[in-house]
Amino acid sequence: MYLGEGSSLTPRSASHDAMPTFAAIDIGSNSCRLKIARVVAHQLKTLAEDREVTRLGTSVFESGLVSPEAMAATLRALKRFQRAVQSHGVDQIRVVATSAMRDARNGAAFQAWVKAETGWNLEIISGLEEGRLIHLGVTSNEPGTGGRVLLVDLGGGSCEITLSEHKRIVETISLPLGAVRLTEQFLSADPPTKDGLARMRQLIGRELRRAHRRIQSGRAPQVIATSGTAAALSDAWAAGAIDIKGKSSGLRGRAKSAASSEVPTAAVRKLAGKLCKMSLPEREAIQGIGPRRAEIIVAGTEVYAELLECFGLRGFRYSPLGLRDGILAQMLAGQDARAKAHREFEHERWESVLATARRYGVDTKQAEPVRAHAMQLFYELRHLHELPPEYESWIAAAAVLCDTGKFINHQGHHRHTQYIVSSTEIYGYTQMQRTIVSAIARYLGKSRPQPGDRALRNIPAQEHQNVHRAVVLLRLAVALNQDRASDVLRVAVKVYPKRVYLEVEPGRTGAELEIWSLRREAGYFREVFGRELFVTLA
C-alpha cells in the first residue's frame, strides 16, 4: 500500500509498466467532486468527472456537527463515485475534506463511516494545504501562470487567497469566508435583511483587510478565481446578466464575446447590489447562476466584490481547475520522476522541511551530515530493509527535524519533536506522512517503538514494521555524528547473509565516540533485521 497520498489501491498492481490511473475526490462544504485521470506520456488525461451538491457544511456552521442527513447525502455521492472509480480501474485514490470537516466536532465519526462503507481513508486537510494544492492544480495546468498571479478559491466554508510568482507560492492565507458559512450565519431571511447584510459585510471587510496586510499583491497582472461562485459570476457576466455601462440587461442579456473572459470589478459590485435585493426565485432566474447556486450566491458575490475592491484589482478570470487537479498533479509528481512537475514538487517539499527546521532553531548545516549518512545507509542497505521508495524522503525529513523538540525543552526533546512534526503544516506532506516522519524522529533516545505508543496510534498497523526499520537507519546515522564539532566521518557498508559490517574511517579527532554509539545499536539492529552488526575501524 502506498501511503504517500493517504491512498487506497485497487487489487490491480500499481507497478505502472502500464499507464497508471489516479482519482481525486474533494469533499467540500457545498459539494463533492470527483476527477479521474490517466497518465499518458507523463501528463494527465482526464477520463471522468462528477459533482454532487451535498451541503455538508450547512449543519456544521450552524451547530458544529455534521448532520446525519448531510452524512447520508455525502455517502450516497461517494458510493456513486466509487462505481466510477472501479469502472476505470483506478490504481490510486486520494479523498480529502476541507473547511466543514475541519470545523466538525463529529468529523472522526464521519471518517469512520466513510471507511466502513467505501474502504477509503478520508483525509481532512488544513486551509493552507488546501491553498497549496489549488495553486498546484492551477499552475500545473493553466497556461500563462508563470508570472505574478493572485489565486482566489471561494468555497462553501472558506476562501483561500494565494500570491504566486514563477509558479512558486509567495504567501497563502485561508479565511472563514465561505459562501455556505456566511449564508448560514447572516442571511437566513429571503431576501436578506439589511442588518444581516451589514453584519456580514463587516466580517468580510475585517477578514479581507487582515489578508491584504499579509498579501501585498500589488498590480498582479493576473487574478484567477476557481470554484462554483466564480463560475457563476463568470457565466452571468458572459450571458449579459449585468451591464456596467448601463442598466441591468435583465434575465436574458446579450452574450459576451470570448475575449471578455475577465469579469470586471465594477460588474461584480453591481451584481452584488442587485442580488441582495432579490428573492430566491428571482436569483434562480438569472442566467448563469442556476437554482442550487442561487441559495448562496449573495454571500459569495459580496466576498468577491469586497476582495477585488480591497486589493485594488480590476477583475478576475475564472478557471475550472481547482483542488482535485492539484491532488492529481501531486500524485503524478510523487510517482513519476520524469513528469514535468516532479522536480518542482520535490524542491518545494524539501524547502518546506528546511524552513520548518529553521523555525524551531535547528542549524540545518549541522543536520546535513546526519541526513547524508541516513541516505547512504538507506541506499546501501536497501536489499536488507526493503522499505518503500517514499521512505527515503521521509527519513531525510526526520533527520533534519529530529532536534526541533529542543525548541520546547532539551529534556525529553524527542517527545516534543514528535508533537511538533505531526502537528506542523509542512507543504507537500499529508497528515499521514507527517505522522510517519514524526514517529521516525521520535525514537532516537532510549525508547523503542512499542504497540500502543501515542506516536504509532494513528499509523496503520501494516506500516509499523517499516517505521521500526526506518528508526534503526536514522539511529545509526545519528550515532555516526555524535561529535558535531569533528569533521564528518566516512563509513563503508558491507552486507553479508548473516551480518553487516560498518567500517568507520576516523576523522581528525578520531571516531571513538561514534564507534561506541554505533555498537550500542547492535542489539536493536539484530532485533529488527535479524543480522549481527559489527562496527570496526577502517
pLDDT tens string 139-173: 888 887 878 899 999 999 999 999 998 888 888 99
Over 90: is that where the pLDDT of 207 sits?
yes
SS3 per-residue string spanning 374-394 = HHHHHHHCHHHHCCCCCHHHH
| Stretch (H or E) spanning 148 | strand 148-154
Report phi then psi at 170, rounded to 5. Answer: -90, -45
Q: How far is CA 244 from CA 180, 249, 252, 319, 349, in A?
A: 27, 10, 15, 22, 44
pLDDT per position as a tens digit, 307-323: 999 999 999 999 999 99
Edge-to-edge order in the sheet of strand 262-264: 168-175, 159-165, 148-154, 222-226, 315-318, 262-264
According to DSSP, residue 116 is labeled H
Mean pLDDT value of segment 456-464: 89
Of 3.40.50.300, 3.30.70.20, 1.10.3210.10, 3.40.50.620, the CATH number of 339-537 is 1.10.3210.10
Of 3.60.15.10, 1.10.340.30, 3.30.420.150, 3.40.50.2000, the CATH number of 143-320 is 3.30.420.150
Between helix 297-310 and helix 194-214 the angle, nearest 10°, is: 40
For residues 179 and 57, give the distance between their C-alpha atoms in angstroms, rounded to a whole number. Answer: 10
Q: Are 380 and 495 in contact (CB under 8 A)?
A: yes
Task: Please count the other Cβ atoms lying within 10 Å of the Cβ belonging to residue 355.
Answer: 12
pLDDT band at residue 337 under the 50/70/90 scheme: low
* Beta strand extents in 313-388 (DSSP E only): 315-318
Report phi then psi at 342, rounded to 5. Answer: -60, -50
Q: Which pLDDT value is given to residue 254?
A: 39
Over 50: is that where the pLDDT of 278 sits?
yes
pLDDT band at residue 110 under the 50/70/90 scheme: very high
Q: Which pLDDT value is given to residue 253?
A: 41
According to DSSP, residue 493 is labeled E
pLDDT per position as a tens digit, 394-421: 999 999 999 999 999 888 898 999 999 9
Q: How far is CA 266 from CA 165, 270, 272, in A?
A: 26, 6, 10
Considering only 160-169, 196-205, 226-235, 331-340, which range has the smallest mean pLDDT?
Answer: 331-340
Mean pLDDT rounded to a whole number for the chain: 87
For residues 130 and 27, give the distance between their C-alpha atoms in angstroms, rounded to a whole number. Answer: 12
pLDDT band at residue 515 under the 50/70/90 scheme: very high
Q: Which pLDDT value is given to residue 216?
A: 79
Taking domain 21-125+324-330, whether its CATH number is 3.30.420.40 is answered by yes
Burial pattern 327-349, b for ≥16 Cβ within 10 A else e, equals bbbbbbbbbbeebebbebbeebb
Burial pattern 366-398, b for ≥16 Cβ within 10 A else e, equals ebebbbbbbbbbbebbeebbebeebbbbbbbbb
Q: Using alpha carbons, select from 118, 477, 522, 11 the residue that is nearest to residue 536.
A: 522
pLDDT band at residue 336 under the 50/70/90 scheme: low
Q: Which pLDDT value is given to residue 486?
A: 60
42: left (phi over 0), alpha (psi -120 to 50) or beta: left
Considering only 10-19, 227-236, 328-337, which range has the smallest mean pLDDT?
Answer: 10-19
Tell me, yes or no, if the two domains 21-125+324-330 and 339-537 fold the same way. no
Q: Using alpha carbons, select from 98, 107, 251, 279 the residue that is nearest to residue 187.
A: 279
43: left (phi over 0), alpha (psi -120 to 50) or beta: beta
Q: Are 469 and 529 in contact (CB under 8 A)?
A: yes
Q: Which pLDDT value is given to residue 206?
A: 95
Considering only 218-232, 369-383, 492-506, which range has the smallest mean pLDDT?
Answer: 218-232
Burial pattern 210-246, b for ≥16 Cβ within 10 A else e, equals ebbeebebeebebbbbbbbbbbbbbbbbbbbbbeeee
248/442: higher pLDDT: 442
Cα 484-486-487 angle, rounded to 5 deg? 110
The domain spans of the chain are 21-125+324-330, 143-320, 339-537
For residues 252 and 275, give the distance between their C-alpha atoms in angstroms, rounded to a whole number. Answer: 15
Over 50: is that where the pLDDT of 14 sits?
no
Report phi then psi at 22, rounded to 5. Answer: -115, 155
Q: Are 12 and 20 in contact (CB under 8 A)?
A: no
pLDDT band at residue 249 under the 50/70/90 scheme: very low
Q: Which pLDDT value is given to residue 97?
A: 94
Kindly calculate the radius of gyration of the chain based on its CA atoms and give it in whole angstroms: 26
The listed range with the strongest mean pLDDT (15-24, 55-64, 342-351) is: 55-64
Mean pLDDT value of segment 100-115: 93
Over 70: is that where the pLDDT of 72 sits?
yes
User: At 153, is the secondary structure helix, strand, or coil?
Assistant: strand
Cα 472-474-480 angle, rounded to 5 deg? 105
User: At 44, is the secondary structure helix, strand, or coil?
Assistant: strand
pLDDT band at residue 257 under the 50/70/90 scheme: very low
For residues 344 and 348, give the distance between their C-alpha atoms in angstroms, rounded to a whole number. Answer: 6
The listed range with the strongest mean pLDDT (238-242, 331-335, 489-493) is: 489-493
Q: Are 137 and 322 in contact (CB under 8 A)?
A: yes
